[in-house]
Amino acid sequence: MSEHDDPGLDRIKHHFAQRVITQARQVLEIWQRLHRTEWNAMTLKELTEANDRLLKYAQRFDQTEHAHIAEQIGDSLRQVAANRGRLTSPVISDLSQLMQSLSRTGLRHGDQLDSMALPPLRKPIYIALQDMARSQRLAMQMEYFGVTIQVFEESESFRRAVAERHPAVIVMEVDFDGPAQGLQLAAEIQTHLPTKLPILFFSRDEADTNRRLAAVRAGGHEFYTGTLDASHLLEKIENLTRVAYYDPIRVLVVDDSRAQALHTEMSLNSAGILTRTLLNPTAVMSHLAEFNPDLIILDMYMPECTGTELAKVIRQHERYVSVPIIYLSAEGDLDKQLDAMSEGGDDFLTKPIRPHHLIATVRTRAARARSLKARMVQDSLTGLYNHTHTLQLLEDASYHARRMGQQLTFVMLDIDHFKQVNDRYGHPMGDRVIKSLALFLKQRLRKTDHIGRYGGEEFAVVLPDTDAQAALRLIEEIRKRFAEIHYPTQSDSLACTFSAGIAQLSPDQDINDLARQADEALYSAKRNGRNRVEIHGANLAG
């Protein structure tokens, strides 16, 4: 038997790959956390040490892609150390791109090594309910979504499990193992933890304010009453446990004073905020399109134009209507400041300004703008991207794929016989199926894949750096697993399937044609019997 056929060797490879990916996730977690505070020697050291471990594991276990990225991250971090810990915009930009590349290396559920899928990387979810049968039903439904569940019947086994391994999330009934004992148990285990474990509390009866306050103090993030629904729990768990590549805040500074612009840039860079300075205000539109900032800082008085005039020009373009504009000026006249803000501005900061004040203002404004933008581009039922934004992401991904010489595929999915689900079980059940498929896709795709609700029961997926055959294997695995989910109803249980069509981007192809091809493949799958996946232009199916 050759080494390639040795199942024991395969298991070792899987273990090594999992260890490297787990370490990569730790690097991404630290990167994400760094953007909540200003960088300093301690945070730089923490990121450097985590990346050094990633490089060591990747080299030891022959994971060349991870090793290459870790080496480049290490080079960038050494530049920071050589610059006495000060960040510059080029380094922030390089690190951002490298972290984005690192986030793409994590294998999706359904990706395979030597025909064996990697086990899930998430920590387990602990369920502690009074009714064991309810716990088991809930666990079975949740495990379809690729999460690991551990169920408990009494307090002592729960305590031992928490002492041995901290879970990602705890689902705890307030009366677990006795009246109000769940609340006491939750408070007890949190006592000596530096960071509280997230807990989702449940009560069969409506709870008063005192019980809800006790739940909050014990680390409760939600309080469910009456019934527990697996899809609702998983949505919350997904939000609580999401680890993703974090894109730094991007700020465009327009100021004709080189010294002032440099001072502003250095202050923002110290907080990991990616900054571009522009001394010529008349060139602002080309830089906006290329840099795509989250926020703009304008000087009030420049030789070519005033800040308010430039703000009006920016606001004339629909794409930049909601981008926050902050005036940064020595102007101390309050009336003039208010007039400036009434003409396209969102805030006015007076020079000289303390760096901490500037950073806090930029972060607050940019975070709010990102949140608002997210709401504007999301589908309200599923939280996925809406139709319009999905096509925008497809266009951006196609541009990136051509520039980087990478493959790109577009997938369209449609739930089979969905009208019958609505007619027989009602629209609430139909919504539940739609939401569960949305969550299923989010659980099993990379964070850098884009998932949208295209309309009704139709979904779309943008898969960067993925060819049609890889997409086929991935969507096939998702299709098979989704068909295994059962939704309890009053009389029986419901299972649903979906059909999908795949199209791969070809040179010089526009996104409208790519979307049309995916749609044609989808309807071919429908005509050929449903519950299948087809590639445009190929007679391939599951």
Q: What is the pLDDT of residues 296-313, one digit of tens each?
A: 999 888 888 888 888 888
Residues 6+ apart with CB under 8 A from 268: 251, 253, 275, 358, 359, 362
**Using N-to-C axis directions, what is the helix angle for 64-82 and 89-105, rounded to 10°?**
160
DSSP run (H or E) holding 59: helix 41-60
Between CA 74 and CA 77, with CA 76 as vertex, the angle to 5 degrees is 65
- Say yes or no: 343 and 398 in one domain: no
Residues 208, 277 share a domain: no
Name the residue among 448, 392, 463 with its Cα closest to residue 97. 448
Confidence (pLDDT) at 157:
94
Give the residue from 186, 209, 241 where a domain finishes: 241
Name the residue range of residue 82's domain. Answer: 3-105
Whether 392 and 514 map to the same domain: the answer is: yes
Report how far residue 335's alpha carbon sits from residue 209's, in angstroms, rounded to the nearest whole number: 47
- Residue 396 falls inside a structural domain: yes
Buried b (16+ CB within 10 A) or exposed e, 458-486: bbbbbbbbbebebbbebbbbbbebbeebe
338, 353, 375 — which closes off a domain?
375
Contact assessment for residue 369 and residue 295, using Cβ atoms and an 8 Å cutoff: yes
Residue 217: inside a domain: yes
Q: Count of domains in the chain?
A: 4
CB 318 within 8 A of CB 310: no
| Shared-domain flag, residues 421 and 527 | yes
Whole-number pLDDT of residue 3: 42
Of 105, 134, 163, the one marking the end of a domain is 105
Does residue 201 share a domain with residue 263? no
Statement to judge: residues 269 and 366 lie in one domain: yes
Q: Between the CA of residue 481 and those of 21, 109, 399, 534, what are the distances in Å?
A: 23, 11, 33, 17
Sheet strand arrangement including 199-203: 149-152, 125-128, 169-173, 199-203, 220-225
Q: Which residues of the chain have pLDDT under 50?
A: 1-5, 107-121, 540-542
Same domain, 22 and 157: no
400 and 424 co-located in one domain? yes
Q: Which two tokens stand for residue 509?
A: 């192809």
* Shared-domain flag, residues 234 and 254: no
Distance of alpha carbon 231 from alpha carbon 297, whole angstroms: 42
Mark whether 255 and 146 lie in a shared domain.
no
Q: How far apart are CA 311 and CA 89, in angstroms?
A: 24
Q: How far apart are the first and last CA of the chain?
A: 31
Under a CB-based contact definition with an 8 Å cutoff, are residues 459 and 416 in contact? no
Half-sphere exposure of 507 (CA within 13 A, CB side): 1
- Domain assignment present for residue 51? The answer is yes
> Taking the C-alpha atoms of 153, 154, 155 and 159 in order, what is their torsion angle to the nearest 10 degrees?
-50
**Domain CATH number, residue 298:** 3.40.50.2300
CA distances from 94 to 4, 75, 76, 105, 161 (A): 38, 10, 7, 17, 41
Task: Residue 198: name the closest of 222, 226, 181 by CA.
Answer: 222
Residue 88 falls inside a structural domain: yes
Long-range CB pairs of 84-88 (<8 Å, 24+ gap) are 85/39, 85/40, 85/41, 85/44, 86/266, 86/269, 86/270, 87/39, 87/269, 87/270, 87/272, 88/269
Residue 154 and residue 79 share a domain: no
User: Does residue 115 fall inside a structural domain?
Assistant: no
Q: Supply the CATH number for residue 474's domain.
A: 3.30.70.270
Residue written as tokens 């606001």?
Answer: 315
382 belongs to a structural domain: no
Q: Which two tokens stand for residue 95?
A: 């690190």
pLDDT digits (tens, 9 = 90+) for 447-463: 778 999 998 999 999 99
Rounded CA separation 91/80 (Å): 8
| 112 assigned to some structural domain | no
pLDDT at 414: 96
Shared domain check, 183 and 140? yes
Q: Is residue 143 part of a domain?
A: yes
Nearest CA-CA partner of 419 in 430, 432, 435: 430
How far lies 536's CA from each of 139, 329, 472, 497, in Å? 38, 57, 11, 20
Give the separation between CA 438 and CA 431, rounded to whole angstroms.
11
